């Protein structure tokens, strides 16, 4: 009889065998549960360009983020510039929508309804970056009630505060684009200026998109509002929409007026700008340019 036969297995050896068997099962199980991660491709977008025609006015914009789709997948909203990871590979349809900040409030980001979606086709390769430069223009839904660039005149001629000394005038010294901008100046403590468009505009009142675009800079708080005009009674209702704080450099804003147009109860409207002089400045000033009233 061989010496290797009938050698008893100790409890220690049995325990060691069981633990080894369990470890093998757990290792294989982890490999099944956690398979190797896929290597993404990337889409790089540094900026989005806007082109306009003569009817649409300035190509100034503030597209600060984009919503990106690749194939059938919505990848999300990303601040610009951005590099977006994508798990799809091969040739894919890529769609980019412009996202803007509504009324200058950073928490209110939304797809701008009047910018055209950008579409292209690109080859996505694992570990590689596809760089695109999306371009947009105003889409067919955009109806321009007025565009004021102050190069040939001034739409804000209605003196709503009753003081002819507080009005909007053209300035040729501090201009965003073109030859002139609109400027309101207050130099007396407690003084106020409120100027409206000289024309009232027909706007949709059933919740359709209505936006006011504007470039501005100021050293004094000022307010933008909408004024409903009743053609029957001649009465007017003023609704202050948003107040902007001092800003030394030019800024672009998109102001939604859809809710206000629907709630006032009329369909003719003026746009107004109002400013109360602050005691903190010797001369209160607001300068505006490229004002556009756009609706569906």
User: Could you state, in order of their start, the residue ranges of all structural domains in the chain?
Assistant: 41-136, 143-295
Percentage of the chain lying above the pLDDT 90 cut:
79
pLDDT of residue 164: 86
pLDDT at 3 over 50: no
Mean pLDDT on 276-281: 95
pLDDT tens-digit readout, 71-112: 999 999 999 999 999 999 999 999 999 999 998 777 788 999
Measured CA to CA, the distance from residue 253 to residue 270 in angstroms comes to 18
Q: 41-136 has which fold?
A: Immunoglobulin-like (2.60.40)
Q: How confident is the model at residue 235 (pLDDT cuts 50, 70, 90)?
A: confident
pLDDT band at residue 4 under the 50/70/90 scheme: very low
Q: Which pLDDT does position 166 carry in this prediction?
A: 93
Could you tell me which residue, 233 or 92, shows the higher pLDDT? 92
| For range 55-82, the mean pLDDT | 97
pLDDT (tens digit, 9 = 90+) per residue, 15-53? 555 555 555 455 455 545 555 678 999 999 999 999 999
From CA 211, how far away is CA 102, in angstroms rounded? 9
Residues 14 and 11: their CA atoms lie apart, in Å, by 5
CATH class of 143-295: mainly beta
pTM of the model: 0.85
Q: pLDDT tens, 135-157? A: 999 999 999 999 999 998 999 99
Cα–Cα distance for residue pair 183/289, rounded to 1 Å: 9
Question: Under a CB-based contact definition with an 8 Å cutoff, are residues 291 and 154 in contact?
Answer: no
Q: Is the pLDDT of residue 228 over 50?
A: yes
Cβ within 8 Å of residue 85, ≥6 positions away: 40, 41, 42
Residue 209 to residue 295: CA distance in whole angstroms: 6
pLDDT at 212 over 60: yes
Query: Which among 226, 244, 256, 216 is positioned nearest to 112, based on CA atoms?
Result: 256
Instruction: Considering only residues 10 and 114, tell me which one the structure prediction assigns the higher pLDDT.
Output: 114
């Amino acid at each position: 009889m061989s010496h290797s036969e009938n050698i008893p297995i100790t409890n220690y050896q049995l325990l060691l065998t069981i633990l080894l068997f369990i470890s093998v099962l757990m290792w294989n199980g982890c490999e099944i549960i956690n398979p190797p991660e896929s290597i993404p491709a990337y889409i790089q977008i540094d900026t989005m360009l806007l082109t306009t025609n003569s009817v649409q006015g300035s190509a100034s914009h503030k597209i600060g983020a984009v919503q990106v789709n690749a194939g059938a997948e919505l990848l999300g909203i990303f601040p610009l510039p951005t590099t977006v990871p994508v798990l799809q590979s091969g040739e894919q349809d890529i769609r980019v929508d412009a996202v803007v900040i509504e009324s200058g409030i950073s928490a209110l980001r939304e797809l701008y309804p009047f910018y055209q979606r950008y579409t292209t086709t690109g080859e996505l390769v694992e570990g590689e970056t596809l760089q695109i430069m999306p371009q947009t223009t105003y889409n067919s839904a955009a109806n321009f009630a007025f565009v004021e660039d102050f190069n040939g005149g001034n739409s804000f001629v209605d003196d709503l505060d009753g003081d002819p000394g507080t009005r909007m005038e053209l300035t040729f010294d501090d201009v965003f684009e073109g030859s002139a901008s609109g400027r309101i100046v207050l130099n007396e403590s407690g003084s106020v200026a409120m100027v409206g468009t000289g024309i009232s505009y027909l706007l949709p009142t059933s919740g359709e998109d209505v936006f006011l675009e504007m470039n501005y800079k100021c050293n004094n708080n000022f307010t933008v509002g909408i004024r409903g005009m009743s053609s029957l009674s001649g009465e007017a209702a003023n609704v202050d929409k948003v107040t902007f704080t001092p800003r030394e450099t030019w800024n672009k804003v998109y102001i939604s007026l859809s809710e206000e147009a629907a709630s006032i109860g009329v369909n003719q409207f003026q746009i107004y700008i109002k400013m109360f002089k602050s005691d903190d400045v010797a001369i209160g000033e607001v300068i505006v340019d490229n004002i556009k009233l756009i609706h569906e």
